Structure 1
Amino acid sequence: MTKRTTNLLGIIITILAGTYFYITCCSECGMQSKEEPEKEVITSIEPKATSFPFSFSDGDFTYSANDNFNFNSSSSAILTPVSQGVEDGIESLKSFLDENSEKVFNINGYYTSDEENDSAFPNLGLARANAVKNYFVSKGIPSKLMNTLGQLKNELVPNVNLFSGPLGYSIANRAEDADEQLADIYQRIKGNPISLEFNTAEASINLRAEQRQKFANISRYLDKEDDAVANIVGHTDNTGQRDANIKLGQERADFAKSYLMRNGIPESRINATSKGPDEPIASNDTEEGRAKNRRTVITLN
């Protein structure tokens, strides 16, 4: 081998060795120095949907089922079908109340402040409780044996758009002053009934907070008094022909009747009539007076 060839071979070996050491040592060190520090990964945990059982007890009498009545968000309509566990519980409760006349069943409906209340009741929880009460009535439990309540419960968590069992239940003794409470409701409604005002030739309802509370009181009174009836009378101003106004007043009364029925008051407990322009409460010579005369009054018999 010539000296020139030997030198060339030495150069090649030197290059290869340098490349090897660069790759295994320096290059690795350089790569490590350029690596970014690991970022902290923050994960959000969705709250678990709440669910309340269909459960109640009184002394030796106890019933509990994991299922319950369910509702969509911002709704007081019971989702069907109702589970067999709930149906069996209703039958057990019916037997218990039949044998214990001094007992009443309390239904407490829950709602959140984020939900919209499209019912006639002061809050969506009371509307849900009323819907469940009416379901119990359809199964043979008298409404006079049940009380309905509403409770704000912002810790409720829906499963997408569905609330599982937003209700609580309890059995209690009938209040000693129950009759006095009903008498007070009757006097307040008779002295200051619900008065709904309408635009000319229109029939629509948008209850104020005070009117919603009156509606709840009327509903409660009808629940407890077997012979009680809600009287609805439609009135108009004197614009146009009397016959047409009598018809319009009846349409307004019927509209209010259907509204009460949609909110759980049985048709048999509602009487709807019209007085048309015959009983004004203000002068028809001014628009302000005519507006007051276009009204539908809801009271108790």
Structure 2
Amino acid sequence: MRYSRFFLAKLFAVAWTSLHAQCGFLAGNVTEITGTVPVVASISVKTDQGKVRLGKTDSSGVFNVEMPCNVSVITIEASKHQSLHIPLNADSKLEGTYFVTFALMPLGKQTSDEPYAQSEQTHFELKDTTKAQTSIIRRFEVKDAMSNQALPAEICLYYTQKQKKDCINLLVSKPSAEIIFTEKDIVAMEVKSAGYQAYNGNLILDKTDQEPRTYIIKLNKQHSMLSVNIINASSGVQFQLLEENNSAVPLHRVNDGHYFAEVAPGKSYNLGVGGANQKEFSTAVASLKEGLTLKSLRIPERETPVAIAEKPINRKGIVASGKTLYFPRSDYKLPVQSRTYLDSVASYILENRDKALRITGHTDNVGNPGLNVTLSEYRVRVITKYLMNKGVPESAITASGVGSKHPVVPNDTEENRRKNRRVEVQIIDLQEKSN
């Protein structure tokens, strides 16, 4: 089977799928804490088989990676930024694509008399540590990285010279504390505040002639998010996320079928779907956990696309035909109603060794063109894998995904876009395949 170079690259990137069952895609972007500066970052997950690297963002911070099943933690890592370790929870069977954004905290560089992240530590030796003791007075404050609001926190200091640990607590009523250092030292520090990511840093105290000064440690919130994939969403659908008191939660809309929101762990929510030509439907999301929760939602009474048959071919008593198979938006799972047809195609090819298959995947024009090419390739891949499992030789299949480049109708209505979300299965002569 001859794949395009791009398709082969994608298959190589997910070659470990035989070891890790797949549960959809995770897509979105990574920025600095302000939300305006893109960050090039790597994305990995912790599974029951250990750490698995999924991929990285492009230069604009955008990513689209395939997820293995049984993921417990997602890790986002970038040079000169604090890593994110986010618990992952599934509220339903995972399928399709889930969108989310991640924000990373920049790290301070190693310097004297200023806290910096432990990951930035390079070799450093204190000099002249035998002098008489002195008093180095420093004030500590902990603040929210975005709002700059003072936070209650626990600060633990680990002294190198004394081999001692001291902890202090900052309160809302007393948001700062003074510490007197009595000698030059390299001090490790850990800062914790409920609902925030912990800070692990170092402090080099090698100067004794400074005036008293204040260290401000900024913490990034431990965000809890809900990402929803409405598998069979149609144009004009309206989606709401409500708390138990029916107050609306702000939503980020990616398109008609994909939303994400920041939520509070431990709370329960209600998802409501409605809109023009859409029967109202709601479902509960009970007691969300801390971290990222993924939920797939299939609206009841989904319209089943009708496959369009082309000219039939009849050889040796086995009947088969070329056909166009349709997929829901952002979905690459093999439609159940297509399996009977593919079974007949497999039987036909096995009975007619002079025939071959050309399988071409297409999408509508909604979303990123590059991601659409990837999606069309995965739709083709699930069909080719199904046929090969039925005995069709690899040499009898030519497959490619072309994204939204070749629509059969203009992408100006949802009905037309549905017609463009397709995989075309053509029965051809074997000699035509080799040309």
Does TM-score exceed 0.5, indicating one fold?
no
Which structure: greater helix fraction? Answer: 1
- Where relative contact order (Cα < 8 A, 6+ residues apart) is larger, the structure is 1
> For the pair shown, which has the larger CA radius of gyration, 1 or 2?
1
In which range does the TM-score fall when normalised by the shorter chain? Answer: 0.3 to 0.5
Instruction: Identify, as 1 or 2, the structure richer in strand.
Output: 2
